Amino acid sequence: MPQQKILVVDDEVSVTELFRMMLEMEGYRVRVVHDVRSAKTALQEEPVDLMLVDIMMPEASGLELCRYVRGEPNLASIPIVIVSARSQLDEVHEGLEAGADTYLLKPVSKGELIEAVQQALTV
């Protein structure tokens, strides 16, 4: 079975490297980008099985990326897991309304992250 590919979108290098390590240890292929524009380019270059997206990034937010993915017919079915420090109930609701399948709060444990990824990939 080919490895499932995950696109990690977060402007914090330390976070993306931690997520990369956690996911690769579980056998996933990981591509990391640090802004929404790069994420859109990456999605056009190579299909992915799932996206991990931060909300607060420079230039454009992860919510914009979620809306973009859900609006593109060839991308709309990609599961999106938001991983954000924004924890207010209205912020979580806004993330889910923008198209996220799951919303995790930072800091996230390896167990939480892997469980959310596995659940999103089996739906």
Three-state SS letters, the chain: CCCCEEEEECCCHHHHHHHHHHHHHCCCEEEEECCHHHHHHHHHHCCCCEEEECCCCCCCCHHHHHHHHHHCCCCCCCCEEEEECCCCHHHHHHHHHCCCCEEEECCCCHHHHHHHHHHHHHC
Number of domains in the chain: 1
Which residues does the chain have with pLDDT short of 70? Answer: 1-2
For residue 81, the model assigns a pLDDT of 98
Whichever domain contains 112, its CATH number is 3.40.50.2300
Q: Which domain holds residue 72?
A: 5-122
